[in-house]
Amino acid sequence: MRWNSRVLCSFWDANNNAQQLLQRYHHTCVIYENKYMFLYGGLVNEHSSSATSVTTTNSFIKYNLETGEYSTLNRTIHSDVILPSLSHHTMTLINDRIFIFGGKNETQTVSDIYAFDLVHDLWTKIKCSGTVTKGKSTINNHAPKRYGYVVYKCLLTF
């Protein structure tokens, strides 16, 4: 059983239609056309009889908000490059494209940008010019904000 939060109504309700999905954290999601939620990456706890380990995933899930059904989507870029496993990244929807930026893989902080075309079911890696500021907090744990066709990276440190 899955639980849905109805934030505006301040209550939780059970979703008996939802299929079981790995629990994760430090993942991202966006809502598309008020019907679908797309979920990418995050950290997953894997339990064995001797220990619990944490792994980073590259799963890309489409969740139908009306039926509660999940499906795993294509993670291949141009049929030969697999999307990386990421956590602490951001995901932003602009028109019919989802953009994933930065985050952490299993070993390091990254600054790559990927785009998923929702109409053609196609991933591409975006080639950027310029310099990304390096540092632990510059491209993970950030919050993107969209204004028109520009996505700004917001980071507050205390």
Residue 28 has pLDDT above 90, yes or no: yes
Average pLDDT over residues 72-84: 74
Please tell me the total count of domains within the chain. 1
Q: The domain that contains 117 carries what CATH number?
A: 2.120.10.80
How much of the chain, in percent, has pLDDT values that exceed 70? 64
Average pLDDT over residues 10-22: 56
* Rounded Cα distance, 140 and 20, in Å: 28
Strand 52-56 versus strand 43-47 pairing type? antiparallel
Mean pLDDT of the chain: 77
Contact between 82 and 59 under an 8 Å Cβ cutoff? The reply is no
Phi–psi pair at 9, nearest 5 degrees: -100, -5
pLDDT at 7: 47
Of the candidates 73, 80, 117, the one whose C-alpha atom is nearest the C-alpha of residue 98 is: 117
Of the candidates 21, 16, 63, 18, the one whose C-alpha atom is nearest the C-alpha of residue 42 is: 21
pLDDT at 145: 63
pLDDT class of 89 with cuts at 50, 70, 90? very high
pLDDT at 12: 55
Residue 27: exposed, middle, or buried by beta-carbon count in 10 A (0-12, 13-18, 19+)? Answer: buried
Domain range for 150: 2-154
pLDDT at 157: 40
Residue 90 has pLDDT above 50, yes or no: yes
